[in-house]
Structure 1
Amino acid sequence: MTDTATIAVDQFIAAPPSKVWRSLTEPELLARWWVPGDVAAVVGHRFHLQMPGWGAVACEVTEVEPERRFVYTFNENWTLTWRLVPEGNGTRLFLDHSGFDLDDPRARDAFARMGPGWRDKILPGLAQLAADLPD
């Protein structure tokens, strides 16, 4: 059996779950904090994310609980699980980016680079966008 690893990120966002949800599931908002993609919060929806250096990455939505949980595959190996928990006047967002095969040098390198990227750049950008969305 392959040993896999997960990047886990916990980000507080000074916005209600409805704004965070929109930021995750509306293509025009997703493109503003991460990358362009034809995402939709519909189980079974297949879409692509336009990743710099990788091109179009195939994804498929596997779980949807509006304003609570959004899960989709990301390429043939990874899964992104977004969990939203109301906290005070904001939202605690938990991301699990799972499926990294640590026996594969390329996957191990991606794991090492993507963790800091999610924590230090990508999710803070999401937090800023969601906080700035009008009511």
Structure 2
Amino acid sequence: MASNDKPRAIADVSAGAILATVTIAVPPERVFRALTADDQIPLWWGADELYRTTRHTADVRPGGAWRSEGKGADGHDFHVQGEYLKVEPPHLLVLTWIAPWDGHNVTTVTYMLEAVDAGTRLIVRHEGFGAREGSCRDHGSGWERVLGWLAAFLTDEAGGKPRSVFHCRLIPPRPDFAFTLTDAERGLMKQHSDYLRDRLGDGGVILFGPVADPAGPWGLGIVGADDEAGVRALTEGDPTIRSGLGFRYEILPMISTIM
């Protein structure tokens, strides 16, 4: 595949809309996942000198809610949220966008992904700014940066950038957890399994499964990521951790691997 085009964004303040585009040398399926998965957004959306997205949650279906949280370079927390209006993987995603810094006004973002010879042409349309010309211009500059971050992240990954491998130990809330599951806990563990299964391969999970420790079973995961922050983004999205029931992960880097 050819190298990426430079991201471009145009703010049409008279129409209260932004049009941004970039071509990325990976398939649409990979771009769509990077735009939607809880464990992906924190890996690429942001830069240390501006802000970093640290957490993203999304119920990726029409009517489902999404929310991103992060911290600015000045140390202040921020968030942005909305609702999915259309979800047609891997070619179309439409969502509302509500940001406190924009007065909690509701705008609409449309992602259109088209397979091309060079990979994926991604077009973003952000509309609904009305007469807020300054906000429209600022968001236009923002989208150009965001698409640049996305393209760099996916290009590094596709180029075979070496990834570190991490040992992840999921410790349950009690030693006999595997033998004393309630119906609700069985449902939670199914969500946990589905979450990790969806992230096999390019999602970073190499393998995962229970270990028959005489002191009490626990979950073993081997995960590939650029750094520990990437692993933590994945583990913090695990339904067991989000349940608040007392599960926790211990994460250690592997010194070397034979694969």
Over 3 Å counting, the alpha-carbon distance change for 1:72 and 1:54 in structure 2 is: farther
Gaps of 5+ in 2: 1-13, 46-52, 99-104, 159-201, 203-259
> 2:116: which partner in 1?
87
Please list the CA deviations of residues 36-83 of structure 1 after superposition, one character each: whole Å capped at 9, or x if unmatched: 321242111112222656733231011011110011101142111000
Contact 1:26–1:40 under 8 Å retained in 2 = no
**Residue of structure 2 equivalent to 1:31:** 42
Instruction: Give, in whole Å, the separation in 2 of the partners of 1:110 and 1:50.
Output: 20
The residue number in structure 2 matching 1:58 is 81
One-letter identity of the residue aligned with 1:118 = W
Partner of 2:133: 108
Match of 2:164 in 1: none
Q: Aligned pair in 2 of structure 1 residues 83, 54: CA closer, same or farther (>3 Å)?
A: farther
2:23–2:118 contact (8 Å) kept in structure 1: no
Q: Secondary structure of the residue that 2:83 maps to in structure 1?
A: strand
Q: Which letter maps to 2:61? A: V
CA distance in 2, matches of 1:101, 1:67: 30
Q: Distance in 2 between matches of 1:31 and 1:127?
A: 14
State the Cα distance separating 1:27 from its structure 2 match: 1.6
Larger Rg: 2
Q: How many residues align?
A: 128
Q: Is the 8 A contact 2:110 2:124 kept in 1?
A: yes
Work out the percentage of aligned pairs sharing the same amino acid. Answer: 29
Q: TM-score, normalised by structure 1?
A: 0.83
Structure with bigger RCO (C-alpha 8 Å, 6+ apart):
1
1:131 positional shift: 2.5
- Please give the secondary structure, in 2, of the residue aligned with 1:114: helix
* Counterpart code for 1:28: D
The Cα shift of 1:4 comes to 4.7
1:20 is aligned to 31
Task: Establish whether residue 132 from structure 1 lines up as the match of residue 156 from structure 2.
Answer: yes
Contact 1:49 1:59 in 2 (8 A): no
Which sits farther off after the overlay, 93-102 or 49-58? 49-58
- In 2, Cα distance between equivalents of 1:40 and 1:92: 25
Unpaired runs of 5+ residues, structure 1, are none
**Alignment partner of 1:7 is 2:32:** no
Q: CA deviation at 1:133?
A: 3.3
Q: Is the 8 A contact 2:24 2:118 kept in 1?
A: no
Partners of 2:62 and 2:156 lie apart in 1 by 28
- Contact 1:41-1:70 at 8 Å conserved across structures: no
CA RMSD of superposed structures (Å): 2.0
The answer as to whether partners of 2:108 and 2:128 remain within 8 angstroms in 1 is: yes
Q: Which amino acid in the other structure matches residue 22 of structure 2?
A: Q
* Shift in CA distance, 54/83, structure 1 to aligned 2, threshold 3 Å: farther
SS at match of 2:21: strand
SS in 1 for 2:128: strand
Residue 11 of structure 1: CA displacement?
0.7
